[in-house]
Chains A and B, each alone.
Chain A
């Protein structure tokens, strides 16, 4: 595609869209499809056709609008409807020429929407992810055009560095620095990998980005490839995300057909191709060296670093590996400038972050908020607080590698540094909220079970350590534990953290450590109950009075 063709396509499609009198956007992401939004979309289309209105009403399936718990969500011009059922199609089309339907109305002025800041998810809910022309009409590939025609690779890296963007996969490594490391390496062959192996329990941010705006990811990858000098890219996405796989495949094929991927993009000498690789469902394959091994067709196990992928990655070549959300941040930075991006967020954590809110919370769904927002605002304003009059107990961030943040720390800000200080991590963006009925030792056991079953088995501390920690947690939770078990658990946490081979093992003890840090009394209580029960049993057998001085 020539540059002028892209602009012409954008102009034509925009003016086509402007001719419609009404727009009906139906969410067609996994969450809403699970409550039949696909049927709803079809029904609305048929209703419009039956009234012979297809020239006046634009009906399209779009990406996630955030409030997943109230789905399916439908946006009709300026109003939003929630809990829409397929049989509502008729009344919705009917209402176009009348008043909005009161009983379905969703207040878009509520804090859930008002407090968000959309950068990555800007186009999610506005564009049809399965249509390239629709995405182009909403600005897709403009940043790539700008980069290829007016910027040098060094300028692109400088722009990303200036923006202060940090890796959104969890560790928060400065993206610009990573890019410059790969750009500096010699050699002809370099690879680019997009890590879409999102595996944390309760996290679905990357899935939403891939399902809702796949071209944003492809564009970010192409810009990164130009910056570091790579010609081949791989998107590694888990096979458990069939819709994301379908939409990415379609997006890649359409981009290829319109020569937005392939040789001589926009008539320049820049070539770039993207290939899709499906993960077979291993959490450890989110770790970069394990992911690379998996793409190479080997068993997905990590290897010791260094050498880092920037020097020795896919097939031994220098490889740039970033998370889906990181790539999705690239196009807005190029379009609006590093300075614009850097003014969002805090001193050290710039931009926005997408979180998946789950657990004991009113508004379950996806949010994108500026870095540095107080945790309290997320829980009570955006998420609407705890339902059924229960009290907030803790929020688990960062998945099985993260930790639990208790109520007394609700006023910390959400950024890489302060979450780490609180004993948790930013992680990829899962937030699981727990109320007073949750048992924290049980929470730790749940995450440890996850780590145990997902450990690859290569290194002993993680393979056996997670098993033993789970065994000890099981004893404590089932009221069979002893004070020695608790001490052994603490020793194990320390050893596994210090000696494991990769991030999975090194961070596996985090849920235990953070719950011990803030809720050790709950562990102590469970052990005391176990002790008391044992004392009673012994007393019944021997018939003697037993001193219960073992109790703390």
Chain B
């Protein structure tokens, strides 16, 4: 979404009491990460368009009563950002707890156990139990593809797969159906993955998926590791071409 401006200006701002300079057009999240300040995210992935759905990267900006999503807010001159506070910690914890309550995340039988961004986030945010009523929905597992699998039980609807499929691979096989908690990832017009005429089988969706929802078949518990390095590389190559 951030428009490429021909005249790039230098901006100075403060993040967590640290004076930082950056280029105009950069988001708070980008600048924070460049300066080794950690802001938790689940839906954001460098190289894909900003989604703004997980709301874990909410930060406080001085003189603003509202919270702002760091991934979608551009830095402005003199801005004072606070990336963590008791309130933000509490909200982040609740968000991740809600993800666990929403679908059936059972780490002990998950192929991504030990390599899961959701699991790591729970550890990082020191979650020890879930206060919300569990939904325990009945979810489908799509086993129709020859070498990939979609397990809706483990999906957090971050839409990384939807974005990588449309924006990078250009296939737009994946999309979202339904509303609210009934939303789900689909292929084409809600067909089995294996029957999809548009899927190129590139496997990018599997590698950007933060959890064990999209996996390679033939992996057992804890064996599924993801490789996301291709994305910054592809983005860089595109910029070089420009």
Contact = CB atoms under 8 A, between A and B. Distances in A.
A and B physically associate:
yes
Interface of A: 282, 299, 303-304, 306-307, 312, 452-461, 463-468, 471-472, 475, 488, 491-492, 495, 498-501
Interface string B119-157: 000000000000111010000000000000000000011
Nearest to A451: B180
B50 A304 contact: yes
Contacts of B180: 452-457, 463, 466-467
A284 B74 CA distance: 25
B98 interface: yes
A21 B69 CA distance: 66
B95 interface: yes
A491 B181 contact: no
Contacts, number: 104
26 contacts: A282-B179, A304-B72, A306-B74, A452-B180, A452-B181, A453-B180, A454-B179, A456-B179, A457-B176, A457-B178, A457-B181, A458-B52, A458-B159, A459-B55, A460-B55, A460-B95, A461-B98, A464-B99, A464-B101, A467-B181, A468-B98, A471-B132, A472-B133, A475-B133, A491-B90, A498-B91
B67 A458 contact: no
Given A461-B55, A467-B102, A468-B133, 17 more contacts: A299-B175, A304-B73, A306-B74, A452-B180, A456-B180, A456-B183, A457-B157, A458-B51, A460-B156, A460-B157, A461-B98, A464-B101, A464-B181, A465-B98, A468-B98, A488-B131, A501-B69
Contacts of A488: 131-132
A501 B179 contact: no
Interface in B27-41: none
**Contact residues on B (Cβ < 8 Å of other chain), bracket:** 35 or more
Nearest to B58: A499
Nearest to A455: B180
B48 interface: no
B53 interface: yes
B94 interface: yes
Nearest to A311: B3
Interface string B54-75: 1100100000001101011110
B19 interface: no
Contacts of B94: 491-492, 495
Given A457-B178, A463-B157, A501-B55, A471 B95 contact: no
A337 to B, nearest CB: 37
B240 interface: no
Contacts of B53: 458-460, 501
B4 interface: no
Nearest to B99: A460
Contacts of B202: none
Nearest to A488: B131
A463 B91 contact: no
Nearest to A485: B133
Contacts of B50: 304
B1 interface: yes
A467 B66 CA distance: 23
Of A303, A458, A459, most B-chain CB atoms within 10 Å: A458
Contacts of A461: 55, 95, 98
A11 to B, nearest CB: 52
Contacts of B67: 498-499
Contacts of A491: 90, 94
Nearest to B184: A457
B179 A459 contact: no
B182 interface: yes
A282 B157 CA distance: 19
A488 B90 CA distance: 12
Of A464, A466, A491, most B-chain CB atoms within 10 Å: A464
A493 to B, nearest CB: 11
A159 B74 CA distance: 34
